[in-house]
Every structure is written in structure tokens, then in C-alpha cells.
Amino acid sequence: MEKSLRIKGAESVLNLEPNSSIAIGYHALFGSHDDLMILEIDEKLLPDILHERVALRGQPDEDSVLCTPSKTYAIKFVGNSNSPFLIPPSGQFPLCENPQDFDGEVHGFAPVIKVAPGNMELVEVAPKLDKLKLLLSKNPYGYEDVLEMDFMEDVEKNKARLYSWDDLVGRVQASDEELRNGLWALSAVEIDGFWRIVDEKYMDMILRMLLHNSVLNDWSLDALQEDDVVSVLVSDGFPEKLASHCLHVYGSKVDGDVGRSCVWRLDESRVCVHFARQILSTGKQKMETFMAEWLQRIPGGMQISFDMLEGEILTEKLGVETWVYSFSVSSLPLTPAERFNMLFRERSKWEWKDLQPYIRDLKVPGLSSEGLLLKYTRRSQPILDADPVFSSR
């Protein structure tokens, strides 16, 4: 009884009075305890961890990352050549039944459970969203999916290639918020519990039908009633979910709407870019031909502008003629090294005004956009006052 009272823990070490002492020794359960890990964290992450809002994510073949609700952190192991003796508070590990007999003058005994060979540290990183794109683009939602609705067997067969939110969380190394933003950036939609990218041809069908309906029903593209739009599209044979998804992708909600139905305004730029992409999906075109066709395809009342196509198309001069072709930033990798690799494979030299739309979305924690350019490009300026040209390192 008396003996066990003298077995103390971390609190006795922390509260040691001046001019007093405590024995430090090995715990009866001292060992390598590989299941005990030390993680250094920023004070600001502490509430998230203590309130269980944090998880490690990754497949067995990936380096796992730690995700808070909004950020992703790589985990680095940092070794320590010193000997940090870990002393738990009393009572956390079963007490030794037969502690070595220490002299009565010792005021207590604080047992060491483990010598930590080092600790883990967190480094904020960009979410690994390329994998999200890869997973979802394997099986985009298209017209076949609508037809297959009647054949449950086929749906079952395809199920393995579809991903629910929980499947994605287990496979994509990103925080919940980053994953949601990633899905939004891909214009993905949750259909029957699975997140899908919608095939561009199918989206084109819905959008053209929506524009067609708006002409027939005399709707204003600046004030589309969601209920009306969706019910008419459903009667045209499109699933309700996809009909409202079309409004989300090409429009934005108008604030201050009255009544129960939401009001949407179609976004001029997004609609026009969509038609430009459609035109160029078959290959490159002469500038004049492209502009004429683009102007003809867009809905009445909308204005085209070449600036809309930043990050979507590139132009090249062949002889006296200028050609345009599709080169969309959304088709490029999100990791900087791979992004620059693809960019320099497309063109060996980039002017700043061309390059900027293709790298402005890159975000690397701890690295500014100037830092990115320094790291991945070589900047040259043929003449003083000339625009700088960027080439591969």
C-alpha cells in the first residue's frame, strides 16, 4: 500500500517543489512500445484534434497525410539523437506489482515507459486532387446511364467503378473541405449516392435543351425559375438531378428571390466557353472560322469576348494564318512539377500573358507564385523592356 503511493508519474515531475527530488526509473512495462507515437502539432490544430475532427488518409502504398476539416498535412518523421524519456501521468499504465525497493528517503518514483527515437511533424501540403479527377473521369455520367436505368443488372455491374463520398474520403488525400471544392471544380454531381463527372456531350445536350426551352417559353436567361426549368427538362427526358445540376454548372443563384422557387441567372462567360470548347473539340480551326461559328452558336443576348478563353485555348501562327486549338487548364495536372512539365511539352517558351492563366490556380502552401516560377522555370529577357519569356529549367 505504502509502496504504491510512492509510485508517481508526470505530475510529480511537473510539480516538483524546489529543494526536493524524485527518482526516475524504468517502468515495469518499459519497452519499445511501437504503438506509441509522438506527434508535434501547432497549437491552433489542437482543438480539431481533441474534438476528433482529424483523420489520417491514404492507401497502403501512399504516404499517409493528416487531414483536418479544411487542410491537408504531410507527416514527416524527425529523429532525435538525444534520449527523451517519456513519463506518463500516474495511473495511465498498470503499476508495477513489485517495484524495486528504493530507500525510504526517496520522495517518489516516476516511471519511464519509453524512450522516443524521434517524433512526427506536420507540413501543410496541397491536397492530392489529381487522383480525384482520375477516379471520376474513368466513368463519367452520360446518356448511356439514363438508358441503363431500366437494367438494374448493368447498374450493379458498373457499381464497382463508382465512388460514394466515403469511398472518395478513403482514396483521395484531401481534407473534407478541399475534397468538396475539388468536386465542385470538376462540376461533379452526386447521383444515387455516387459522385460523378458528367460527360461533356451530355451536358451539352441538357444546356442546348435548356436554351431551346427558354426561347419556347419566353424565359429570361437572367431570371430562370428553377422549378419551371427543371420540370420542363424532366418532361424532355432528363433526370431531375441533372437538370438542376445544369443550372449549378452554367448559372448562379440570384439573391433576393421571392417565393419558394430559386431563381438562376445563366453565366455569360461559362455558357460561351462551353460552346467554344464544343467547337474546338473536333480539332484546331482557323481563327476567323472559329470566331464566326462561336458567334453563331451562343444564345441570343450574350456577348463573346476572346478574354473568356484564357486558360482554354491557345493560338498559333501558321504562315499568315492564325489557328486556335483547345488547351484547357482543367485538363492539366494539379501538382506544379507535372503541370510545368505538360506546359513546356506543349510549348518550349511561354510569354507571361499566355502562361499566367495556366498557373494561377496552382497553390502550394509556403510557396508564392514567384517562388513557383523560380523553381520550375527559367526566365529570360532578350531585350531590356521586352516581355520576359519563360522556358523549362
Partner 1 sequence: MQIQVKCSCGAENCREWVVVELQGTVELNPSCFQTHLQNLQIGQLCRLSSSSQESYTFTVGYHELTGSRVTLKKPLLVLKKVKGFMDVDESDDNKGDLPSSKVELDVIGIIRHKILFKTRPKALISSKLIQEHVAVLWFAHVNTRKKEVGIALMENCVEGCLLLLFSWPFGFFLMLKSVEFVAIET
Query: If binding is defined by CB under 8 A, does position 70 make contact with partner 1?
Result: no
| Closer to partner 1 by Cβ: residue 10 or 185 | 10
Nearest-approach distance from CB 101 to partner 1, in angstroms: 9
Q: Point out which residues pair with 212 in neighbouring strands.
A: none
CB 159, CB 191: distance < 8 Å: no
Quick one: DSSP state of residue 309?
Answer: G
Contacts of 353 (CB under 8 A, 6+ apart): 387
Q: Point out which residues pair with 191 in neighbouring strands.
A: 194
| Closer to partner 1 by Cβ: residue 61 or 218 | 61
Q: Within 9-28, which residues bind partner 1 (CB under 8 A)?
A: 10-11, 13-14, 16-28
Query: If binding is defined by CB under 8 A, does position 110 make contact with partner 1?
Result: yes
CA distance 313 to 329: 9
Please say whether the dihedral angle defined by the alpha carbons of residues 118, 124, 129 and 130, taken in this order, is positive or negative.
negative
Instruction: Please select the residue that binds partner 1; options are 4, 59, 231, 381, rule is CB under 8 A.
Output: 59
Instruction: Please select the residue that binds partner 1; options are 76, 159, 248, 379, rule is CB under 8 A.
Output: 159
Instruction: Please select the residue that binds partner 1; options are 3, 6, 64, 354, rule is CB under 8 A.
Output: 64
Contacts of 117 (CB under 8 A, 6+ apart): 79, 80
Instruction: Please select the residue that binds partner 1; options are 109, 194, 195, 358, rule is CB under 8 A.
Output: 109
Cell numbers 479527377: residue? 133
CA distance 370 to 356: 11
Q: Within 344-373, which residues bind partner 1 (CB under 8 A)?
A: none
Nearest-approach distance from CB 211 to partner 1, in angstroms: 39
CB 107, CB 21: distance < 8 Å: yes
Please say whether the dihedral angle defined by the alpha carbons of residues 262, 308, 196 and 237, taken in this order, is positive or negative.
positive
Instruction: Please select the residue that binds partner 1; options are 2, 63, 98, 368, rule is CB under 8 A.
Output: 98
C-alpha cell belonging to residue 163: 465512388
C-alpha cell belonging to residue 82: 538525444
Query: If binding is defined by CB under 8 A, does position 2 make contact with partner 1?
Result: no
Query: If binding is defined by CB under 8 A, does position 307 make contact with partner 1?
Result: no
| Closer to partner 1 by Cβ: residue 63 or 103 | 103
Instruction: Please select the residue that binds partner 1; options are 2, 5, 63, 82, rule is CB under 8 A.
Output: 82
Query: If binding is defined by CB under 8 A, does position 117 make contact with partner 1?
Result: no
Instruction: Please select the residue that binds partner 1; options are 74, 146, 155, 169, rule is CB under 8 A.
Output: 169
* Region of residue 210 (left: phi > 0; alpha: psi -120 to 50; beta: else): alpha
Specify the amino acid at residue 300. G
Q: Within 173-202, which residues bind partner 1 (CB under 8 A)?
A: none
Instruction: Please select the residue that binds partner 1; options are 2, 51, 156, 255, rule is CB under 8 A.
Output: 51
